[in-house]
A and B are shown apart, each in its own frame.
Chain A
Amino acid sequence: GAVVSQHPSRVICKSGTSVKIECRSLDFQATTMFWYRQFPKQSLMLMATSNEGSKATYEQGVEKDKFLINHASLTLSTLTVTSAHPEDSSFYICSARDLRQGSAYNSPLHFGNGTRLTVT
């Protein structure tokens, strides 16, 4: 089955520093990956759509200069939280769609294990 690997699983950083999170599709190619964020006791909120070879598209209210997304290859997308602040502490989850299981219109997303970011 489709596997999405996300690293690191946990990170603690000081306010003002930057943190990079990697998301890899291990056994399939993903031209599009999706980044979600989840605050405690809330649902997953889509932050941005990562596109291989082109700019990411961000959801309304998400600062593109703060959350830098790079999708350099068909199997790797990275999210960099720049100048992190305590309010950025959250659970960040990447996902990808395995088009071997259907089309972009109907195939489910497979999720990485998530990265719990704590900014002190």
Chain B
Amino acid sequence: GDSVTQMEGPVTLSEEAFLTINCTYTATGYPSLFWYVQYPGEGLQLLLKATKADDKGSNKGFEATYRKETTSFHLEKGSVQVSDSAVYFCALSETFGNEKLTFGTGTRLTIIP
């Protein structure tokens, strides 16, 4: 079945550092890929998405490129801020008649001033 593997956390970085959170996936078809962010006590917010190979999703300085050859969708940001502290989830969705999202286990990111 489908699965998503994320780099294990927690990740702690200093403000303005470069961020990479690795994500790889296993899917039977051609899934859409997503990054969601969850702030404490809140639900998930869609951060960015990509629907086909070589697409780059971007939002709020975050980027991720859909790499079919390596089945990866790594999240990057050039300069993180304290406000980026949250849990980040990589997810995929196959278009087989329902909208099931398959999530990774999440990576907790803490940015220190």
B is bound to A: no
A residues whose Cβ falls under 8 Å from a Cβ of B: none
| B binding-site residues for A, Cβ under 8 Å | none
